[in-house]
């Protein structure tokens, strides 16, 4: 161990950092980015907004990012049918920073976070990085039935047992793509009276018609938080802008832990430009959903086992060895994600041409990459 390694916190030793391969390949579908470039009309608006703030970059940005919060509140109101005001909205450099603010405010050493795995891998990393104990809650059928559902009664039991300070729910869930019924959110909320319950809705805009959003539950629930991001549906992964909706009393507390002037003037300007053109930005969502659904249908026709998805990706099962198949696809120029679930790979929905490439690569796999009937989970 190096000299500086010996100084590392005991609870961080032996852990690995979050990271997905960033490789130059013809078809990169491993990080759920949008394959569509930002439309030129929005690029022009971004340039104009940044030009307007550039002369004042010698000054700190608006610490309260007031105009941005107004636009985020307006966007949520228009798209969800729930009325939001500025005090109910918070933002950060990606939803990961927003999640970090929540953990810093309501977590820490001596407190427990509960999440239902498999789910977004950053939830435990952020919680444990702040010194929290992490509990892997169990999903019904995970790794057995392929359903990856959360059982309401089991979730309530685990919430009672662990008495967490934070509960993380993910809907649509990453990496499975499955959405949560709202009764599970309310049941967990009631079963964890000492917890802030966080519903991560990073992929909400991709949900199939009729899929409910937890923002409809916020009224009267001061411990409930819904987080979102502009990285996915807005094709804005390079901007790093995430946000949350919650009671005003909760968002006020986040000011205790945020770093001074944490959102730069440029970030605020770029995000405002995109929100001013939200309809244009979201036109890409329907195209991505079409490719997602095509991937579900055609991988099933190829004999694989896709999980029906409400996100911009599909978790596909039926591989004999996920890591070997990941490499075989990479050898064909297709980069997907091995999320650590046996026999499964996660593939982002991209352009029609990228879907064609993925399907061709899957069809071209040698027979040995397919999970045999005797190996298949019941």
The pLDDT assigned to 143 comes to 41
Residue 377 lies in a domain: no
Question: Average pLDDT of 260-281?
Answer: 97
User: What does the pLDDT look like over 200-255, one tens digit per residue?
Assistant: 999 999 999 999 999 999 999 999 999 999 999 999 999 999 999 999 999 999 99
How far apart are alpha carbons 79 and 77 in whole angstroms?
Answer: 6
pLDDT of 267 reads 98
Are both 152 and 172 inside the same structural domain?
A: yes
- Residues 143 and 139: their CA atoms lie apart, in Å, by 9
- Give yes or no: residues 70 and 119 share one domain: yes
Dist CA 165 CA 110 (whole Å): 10
* 8 domain-assigned: no
**pLDDT tens-digit series, residues 325-340:** 999 999 999 999 999 9
Whether the per-residue pLDDT at 19 is higher than 90: the answer is no
Does residue 114 belong to any structural domain of this protein? yes
Three-class SS state of 339: coil
**What pairing do the DSSP bridges indicate for beta strands 313-317 and 133-138?**
unpaired
The CATH number of whichever domain residue 103 belongs to comes to 3.40.640.10
Q: Tell whether the model's pLDDT for residue 144 goes beyond 60.
A: no
For residue 4, tell me if it sits in a domain.
no
- Which of 220, 255, 276 corresponds to the end of one domain? 276
224 and 246 in a common domain: yes
Mean pLDDT computed over 357-374: 90
Q: Judge whether 226 lies within some domain.
A: yes
Q: Is residue 157 part of a domain?
A: yes
pLDDT above 70: percentage of residues in the chain = 96
Of the residues 276, 292, 309, the one at which a domain ends: 276
Tens-place pLDDT, residues 166-198:
999 999 999 999 999 999 999 999 999 999 999
156 shares a domain with 263: yes
Q: In this structure, is residue 1 part of a structural domain?
A: no
The mean of the pLDDT values for the chain is: 94
Q: Give the chain's domain count.
A: 2
Does 26 map to a domain? yes
Mean pLDDT of 315-329: 97
When pLDDT is cut at 50, 70 and 90, the band that residue 14 belongs to is: confident
Q: For the whole model, what pTM was predicted? A: 0.94
Domain end among 231, 252, 276: 276
Residue 313 has pLDDT above 60, yes or no: yes
| 187 and 89 part of one domain | yes
- Cα–Cα dist 95/201, whole Å: 10
Q: How large is the average pLDDT for residues 256-268?
A: 98
- Distance CA(262)–CA(83), nearest Å, equals 26
Clarify whether residues 26 and 108 are in a common domain: no
Domain that holds residue 205: 40-276
């Amino acid at each position: 161990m190096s000299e500086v390694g010996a100084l590392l916190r005991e609870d961080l030793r032996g852990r690995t950092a979050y990271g997905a391969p960033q490789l130059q390949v013809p078809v990169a579908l491993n990080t759920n980015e949008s394959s569509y470039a930002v439309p030129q009309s929005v690029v022009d608006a971004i340039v104009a907004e940044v030009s307007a703030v550039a002369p004042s970059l010698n000054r700190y940005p608006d610490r309260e990012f007031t105009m941005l919060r107004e636009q985020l509140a307006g966007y949520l109101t228009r798209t969800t049918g729930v009325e939001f005001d500025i005090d109910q909205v918070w933002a950060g450099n990606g939803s990961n920073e927003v999640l970090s603010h929540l953990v810093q405010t309501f977590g820490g050493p001596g407190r427990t976070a509960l999440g239902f795995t498999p789910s977004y891998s950053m939830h435990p990393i952020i919680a444990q990085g702040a010194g929290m104990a992490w509990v892997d809650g169990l999903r019904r059928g995970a790794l057995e039935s392929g359903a990856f559902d959360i059982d309401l009664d089991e979730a309530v039991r685990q919430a009672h047992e662990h008495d967490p300070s934070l509960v993380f729910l993910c809907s649509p869930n990453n990496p499975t793509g499955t959405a949560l019924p709202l009764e599970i959110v309310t049941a967990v909320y009631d079963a964890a009276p000492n917890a802030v319950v966080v519903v991560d809705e990073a992929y909400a805009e991709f949900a199939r018609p009729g899929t409910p959003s937890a923002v409809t539950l916020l009224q009267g629930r001061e411990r409930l938080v819904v987080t979102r991001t502009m990285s996915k549906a807005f094709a804005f992964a390079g901007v790093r802008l995430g946000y949350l909706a919650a009671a005003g009393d909760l968002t006020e507390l986040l000011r205790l832990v945020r770093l001074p002037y944490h959102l730069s003037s440029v970030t605020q300007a770029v995000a405002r430009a995109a929100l001013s053109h939200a309809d244009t930005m979201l036109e890409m969502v329907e195209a991505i959903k079409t490719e997602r659904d095509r991937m579900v249908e055609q991988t099933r026709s190829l004999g694989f086992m896709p999980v029906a998805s409400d996100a911009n990706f599909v978790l596909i099962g039926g591989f004999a060895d996920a890591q070997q198949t990941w490499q075989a696809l990479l050898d064909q120029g297709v980069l997907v994600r091995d999320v650590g679930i046996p026999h499964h790979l996660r593939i982002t929905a991209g352009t029609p041409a990228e879907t064609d490439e993925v399907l061709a690569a899957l069809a071209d796999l040698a027979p040995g990459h397919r999970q045999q009937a005797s190996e298949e989970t019941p």
